Chains A and B, each alone.
Chain A
Amino acid sequence: MARHTIEINVNGAPSKGEVESRLLLVHFLRENLRLTGTHIGCDTTHCGACTVLLDGVPVKSCTVLAVQADGRAVDTVEGLEKDGKLHPVQEGFFQEHGLQCGYCTPGMMMTSCALLSTNGSPTEADVRRAISGNLCRCTGYVNIVKAVLHAAASAREQKAAKAS
């Protein structure tokens, strides 16, 4: 099987690899780079546990080939915390009990980050629609929605504090 040399900017750092054409992005992240925060839940693009950002857009990395990410930027859960400070989305999930078993959480948070990057003041309905491709079996979504709204509010506050 053909092998390819790829370079993906993962969480802001270049990551090189020599991969088979068929290697899935999620396996490249989890097994080649050992970034195991991105989880696999279904292999068929339904559950969203493997959601990462590809050039800022949420994708299900079980249905993206590693070679398709060559030359592009991938953000995973491991890149959310900056300088020892949790991302507002992480903080929102913590404060609002937006996670239980933690398995869907990384994908859920990456999808939420993508929402907040384009909509800083989402409504509850916006949040529900945004995360409708991410399944959670534990929380019943109520606290996840609260977590994302919490994150949106604190991101707005942070922005306002910076501006003043």
Chain B
Amino acid sequence: MASTPRTSPEVGGMGHSVKRKEDPRFLRGKGNYVDDIQLPGMLHMDIVRSPYAHAKILKIDSSAALKVPGVLAVITGQTLEQYKLHWMPTLMSDTQMVLPTEKVMYQAQEVAAVIATDRYAAADGAAAVEVDYDPLPVVVDPFKALEPGAPVLRTDKPGKTDNRIFHWEVGDRAATDKALAASDVVVEQKIYLPRIHVASIETCGIVADFDRIRGKLTVYMTTQAPHAIRTVIALVAGHVGLSEEKIRVVSPDIGGGFGGKVPVYPGYVIAIAASVVIGKPVKWVEDRMENLQADSFARDYHITAALGAKKDGTMTGLRIKTIADHGYADAAANPSKFPAGLFSICTGSYKMPVAFAEVDGVYTNKPPGGIAYRCSFRVTEAVHAIERMTDMLAQELKMDPAQLRMKNFIPENEFPYKSVLGWEYDSGNYPAALKKAMDIVGYDALRKEQAEKRKKGELMGIGISSFTEIVGAGPSKQFDILGIKMFDSCELRVHPTGKATARFGTKSQGQGHETTYAQIIAEELGIPAAHVEVEEGDTDTAPYGLGTYASRSTPTAGAAGAIAARKVRDKAKKIAAYLLEVSEDDLVWEVGKFSVKGAPQKSKTIQDIAFAAYTNHPQGMEAGLEAVDYYDPPNLTFPFGSYICVVDIDRGTGEVKVRRFVAVDDCGNIINPMIVDGQIHGGLSMGLAPALYEEITYDEDGNVHGGSFMDYLVPTAMETPKWETDKTITPSPHHPFGAKGVGESATVGAPPAIANAVVDALAHLGVKHIDIPITPEKVWKILKEKGAAE
């Protein structure tokens, strides 16, 4: 379906690289991001943050701040306590301070907020707030946090005697231990996936506008999930009179989300409280350092993995134990029944007879989080583990890593495949994707080149990653956030002149929904995509949905769009039968029209039918041509791909240079090839970033390193290679138009391909594993130690 479009370019249905409808405003600087919003009488907020990672607050003195010209108020934990708004729930049903009344728990934690007439005065005020602290013992190491006698951090939780948040496990522990013990070879490795930050180029922000007379709160906010946020506000602040029908959440244009704009941050809540109390609009936009230091981080997974195999390379079992550092609170955004997200996809693309995985979540004195970094709930962590272990196994067995993968792939004829850890993989053809990637990159020639280079002492590596993603949460029987089921929605209205408006429960942050959703409607109804106006992100108008993250928009809301269009088509058929004076059974649907079987000249276009729906509809039928669909997917979708990375390593500096990177992706049927390619380019870059550059670390006092763009290295055009992309197409059997999510595949698949390439370059020196980010310093130290540095 996707390779040869069914519709004409003028209609622009699926498979056409339709130019983006959102671009004309962005190209002219006419986007409307949160910081662009200016309301009459709007005040500005700035936040005072803690220099300590753990300390008692002895005193907050606002008197000097209140004397700063333009400063109107200083809000502290005590202020919010009067309204019982000083604590809030996280999306994981943990709790988190909005502003502290007793102690701070991480560096850069919000301590007080200053409201002023402009942003400069607010910043002056924040600098003038004096806070006295009494430092407390700091716990930054999650292993030490679990030791007996470690200071208990969450003293706010009655009866809490340790720092463990949760223990989660899946699979058969005893059978896995037994299988590993009986294996011919077992490779074991500790793998650390460091704390990183999505660092969208737009930071987070809000304009909260409370209308005292109408009692209505309007919130313009950088959120990927506006409906869920509306419900959270109603739940958190219902007791102060904010009722859900009086709350409107608007996500305006968003400058990148990647998971970082799913959580509720204290700044949002303080700005809302300030607007409600003061009765004027309040804007808060964090700066970059606040963004990197206090917003939710991703990963921080300490993995220990063991993979067993027979001598011939057949995998026999996988065991993974993980310590997950969640910081001060579990403020991840996983579905509620999945505290470790979808980590149980860790058996990857392989036929694994038995497996066991366990994850322990731990509190430390770091900012709260555990969110995704452009990935579906801990899938990157799982994929990194299995793809690194697979390469280690190949190295141990002295087998080619491509050959080992081919040997263990789930065969094409075994889909749908039930994995040993409980997922039903909907579809896949893994050997085809790997073979295609090998052909494009010229795998055999590269291996020869590598062998020759080794003789000359040059360091070159080839790394493979054959990943399976799990996206599109989800079936509501398994997936919810704070109890709200993870369906998504479309409301479609076809107007009398044959044009349409479609509203969705998701929210694009650059993915191009205004274009791709219109193409879905165009495909189903034959109304040109140019005539379908897509709206998202305003809770007053859009149907309820759970938002855009975890590659769920096309699998859920996109599906809802197709089903809503099919409902419209069903009604259109009745109207066409009436207009053509035939029975519905005598009609056939072609793109954009119903015609009479055997008499194709007798037909009614969707535009004719739309007009009739309002002007000449059959007696006894309701007027109008509209439909709503709340789509609850029967399963997740399982996009996959094979990536091959070629690196050269400088023996003098340890620098890793990505020479080539070939990505073959399979996301099922494609709506817009241009946009899919763009999504993969972006995902690959966000895979390169943590593989080679990005990391946020802390010293033993909990001081953050990497809290600005000076230290946190987001790759530029100079480091980023020219990505080479291609595809295979294996449609999802259960999705209405055979599509799968795609926005995050590359972020998930790329890091192990790069890490495997670097290890491959150094394998002959006895190197088996390097934790990401693989910095020049790390590589140079290894070269020095192995006597291979120049």
Contacts and interface: CB of A to CB of B under 8 A. Distances in A.
A119 B710 CA distance: 29
Contact of B255 (A35, A93, A102, A131): A102
Given A40-B35, A142-B723, A137 B678 contact: no
A128 B717 contact: yes
A116 interface: no
Interface in A36-63: 36-44, 46-47, 49
B703 to A, nearest CB: 18
Interface in B667-700: 674-675, 677-678, 681-686
A159 interface: no
B214 interface: no
B714 A135 contact: yes
A157 interface: no
A129 B511 contact: no
A42 to B, nearest CB: 4
A9 interface: no
A105 B30 CA distance: 11
Chain A CB within 10 A, most for which of B22, B26, B202, B709? B26
A37 B29 contact: yes
B29 A44 contact: no
Contacts of A42: 287-288, 708-709
B20 interface: yes
Nearest to B285: A40
Interface in B240-294: 253-256, 258, 287-289
A39 B686 CA distance: 22
B510 interface: yes
A101 B288 contact: no
B712 to A, nearest CB: 9
Contacts of A101: 200-202, 253-256, 509-510
A77 B29 CA distance: 6
A2 B609 CA distance: 68
A145 interface: yes
B736 interface: no
Contact of B681 (A102, A104, A135, A139): A139
Contact of B28 (A44, A77, A138): A77
Contacts of A133: 716
Contact of B36 (A36, A44, A93): A36
A40 to B, nearest CB: 7
A18 interface: no
Interface SS majority for chain B: loop
B23 A93 contact: yes
A154 interface: no
A99 interface: yes
A141 B30 CA distance: 22
B28 A90 contact: yes
A140 B720 contact: yes
Interface in A1-50: 20, 22-23, 27, 30-31, 34-44, 46-47, 49
A141 B720 contact: yes
B26 A102 contact: yes
Contact of B288 (A41, A102, A128, A132): A41
A76 to B, nearest CB: 7
Contacts of B28: 37, 77-78, 80-81, 90
Interface SS majority for chain A: loop
Nearest to A86: B27
A102 B511 contact: no
Interface string B286-320: 01110000000000000000000000000000000
Contacts, number: 174
A157 to B, nearest CB: 20
Contacts of B429: none
B786 interface: no
A47 B201 contact: yes
B33 interface: yes
B709 A141 contact: no
B19 interface: yes
Interface string B29-49: 111010110100000000000
Contacts of A113: none
B203 interface: yes
Nearest to A101: B510
A94 B681 CA distance: 17
B202 A132 contact: no
Contacts of A106: 29
A73 B30 CA distance: 21
B26 A105 contact: yes
A39 B709 contact: no
B288 A99 contact: no
Nearest to B689: A137
A105 B27 contact: yes
Contacts of A102: 22-23, 25-27, 31, 253, 255, 510
B675 to A, nearest CB: 7
B722 interface: yes
A123 interface: no
Contacts of B776: none
Interface string B490-522: 000000000000000000011110000000000
Contacts of A27: 119
Given A97-B675, A137-B682, A144 B717 contact: yes
A141 B201 CA distance: 14
Contacts of B29: 35-38, 76-78, 106
Contact of B678 (A77, A97, A127): A97
A158 interface: no
Contacts of A47: 201, 288, 709, 714
A95 interface: yes
13 contacts: A39-B35, A40-B35, A41-B255, A44-B710, A94-B20, A97-B19, A101-B200, A101-B201, A103-B255, A134-B717, A137-B714, A141-B716, A142-B720
Given A47-B709, A140-B681, 8 more contacts: A39-B33, A41-B202, A42-B288, A100-B512, A101-B256, A128-B717, A135-B709, A137-B200
